[in-house]
Amino acid sequence: MNPATIISAYAASPAHTVWDPELEAELLSTLCALPTVAGLEVPWMGALHPHDTSWFLQHVPAGAKLSITALPWVMQRCAAMPSYGLASRDSAGRAAAIADFRMLHADVHTLAQQSSAQIDFVAVHSAPHESANKDALAESLAEIATWDWGGARLIIEHCDAVRPGQTYEKGFLRLEDEIEVLGRVSADIGLWMNWGRSAIELRDADEVTAQIKVAGESGYLTGLTFSGAAYADGPYGSAWTDTHPPIAETDPDSASLLDTSHVMSAMEAAGCLDWVGVKVSRNPADRTAAAVTATVARNLDIVRRSIPVDRACRARGQS
């Protein structure tokens, strides 16, 4: 069975920078209407919507499957409190992150009760910058996994880790440490990879393929998001920043390291996947929901065509 597809709506939406409810309402529905798309990744920024939570609850596409990520909020909190994070050695920093997750937990239930959406995933990130600790992360996960998430599954989304002599974007835990933590926690928590965030860490497309293979062989890999990373400054932002440039063939000016051949090799390396994601920023020239949707659709088409045609999912845990 082919993996289901999720689109990161907030990366593509200009409405999150300049609030335009009419544009965002159209965009949410047109993205969900794309072929093979099951749902959307949406951000939690201390609330279910950065501008109007009531509006969002009324405009979540009917029946959409949602993945909730708190990463934008985590980054804001880390900037204000460097010790902040679920993987913090500092008791105050870890307590602050746990408290925020309690708010997120309440909002997940609000979303389930006040919309027809199904919340499938809630993403966890191994902050803080530079000083993340695997024992602290394990302790946090052991606690929050006992909460009733209403059927949503917790996932660790790997972000770039600290590498000597290299400027980091997130600077969270190494993939190997996150996998070790998953093995220590007696809860059904998955692992999610983001191609662009691994590229920011590794600076080499073939090394990203190798890292995805490690994730796939761990037995925990649930999903893989395709998001580019720019090797040079360009229209989407500075080099090696988390600005979600597209797959290179869809915009030759993007300086994106992600190309079709590496989408294909990543799919092969990942093995059996339940989900694939597409997370690309809108083209700077896109001004309408139709234009943004067309940009996403071009990237989605490459990703879906790259799923191996002979994929018969091996049972998880098989060697």
> Distance between CA atoms of 268 and 265, rounded to whole angstroms?
5
| Spatial contact of 157 and 215, defined as CB atoms under 8 Å apart | no
Q: What pairs with residue 67 in β-bridges?
A: 41, 121
Who contacts 157 (Cβ-Cβ below 8 Å, separation ≥6)?
A: 69, 71, 123, 124, 125, 192, 193, 194, 197
Residue 16 per-residue DSSP state: G
Q: Which of 58, 62, 77, 66 is nearest to 29 (CA)?
A: 62
Global pTM value: 0.95
Who contacts 253 (Cβ-Cβ below 8 Å, separation ≥6)?
A: 234, 235
DSSP assignment of 39-61 equals: EEEEE-SSSSSSS-HHHHHHHSP
Who contacts 18 (Cβ-Cβ below 8 Å, separation ≥6)?
A: none
pLDDT value of residue 311: 52
* Structural domains for the chain: 4-305 (3.20.20.150)
What is the length of the chain? Answer: 319
**What is the chain's pLDDT, residue by residue, as a tens digit (319 residues)?**
689 999 999 899 887 788 999 999 999 999 999 999 999 999 999 999 999 999 999 999 999 999 999 999 999 999 999 999 999 999 999 999 999 999 999 999 999 999 999 999 999 999 999 999 999 999 999 999 999 999 999 999 999 999 999 999 999 999 999 999 999 999 999 999 999 999 999 999 999 999 999 999 999 999 999 999 999 999 999 999 999 999 999 999 999 999 999 999 999 999 999 999 999 999 999 989 999 999 999 999 999 999 987 554 543 433 2
